[in-house]
Amino acid sequence: MRYFIYLSFNGTAYSGWQIQPDAPSVQQTLQEALFTFLRTKIDVTGAGRTDAGVHAAEMVAHFDLSEPKDCGWMKNKLNGILPTDIAVKKIVPVIETAHARFDAKSRTYKYYLNMEKSPFDRDFSLRQILPLDFDLMNEVAKQLLDVADFTSFSKLHTDTKTNNCKVSQAYWEQISEGKWVFTITADRFLRNMVRAIVGTLLMVGRHQISSSEFAEIVASKDRCKAGDSAAARGLFLEKVEYPDHLFLEGI
């Protein structure tokens, strides 16, 4: 029996989602928690990787059990075992061929900026001291909807077969006094892609590069020409969308 598990986590203490040889990961922590009460090794496959220090409002993963289990019971058991920085939102049964990574229709990330100093948001947003031209940043962000190849914003030397992605939305909005968020949705994301895009858009906002220079960076397919990656602490995996037919109970 296959299940999708929806969880959120504070990524500050983790090396990312994926299991690492000598560092704590969310995937390993979840698998160990499943073993604790199911008493069998459970492999969990996530919707994608998140970098060290990146958070998730919603990560989705799948796992298999030899016999069906009550989803509410499993959720409560996991939330009682997992550390306070990981929380299970729900567990739902899916068809046997459902895959958390390959069947995802889209993923949405959000990146948070604070223009004012805040003792409460320092682990979940990037503080900006210099003023930013958000109107120009939004104008330039629209270019991303027409881009196919995102090599300029990809971590180098990865094992991906293609750097093509389809971005369906990318925009900045003010959510409170001095606080802004960048929302971006695509069918897939490359490693480090969102943080590299944000870092380059910040250069636009500071008027360090122009709209045409941003377009030239994209066309160059050269990561070295784009901006530095924005800090991991401001980035959240917000939502992962799937086709309805995967769910056995019409979730």
- Residues with a catalytic annotation lie at 51
- The alpha carbon of 75 is separated from its chain's Cα centroid by a whole number of angstroms, namely 22
- Pairwise CA distance, residues 21 & 119, whole Å: 33
Residue 235, strand partner residues: 111
Please say whether the beta carbons of 125 and 179 come within 8 A: yes
- The alpha carbon of 106 is separated from its chain's Cα centroid by a whole number of angstroms, namely 11
- Pairwise CA distance, residues 129 & 14, whole Å: 28
- Pairwise CA distance, residues 215 & 27, whole Å: 37
C-alpha pair distances (Å), 236 with each of 100, 118, 228: 18, 18, 18
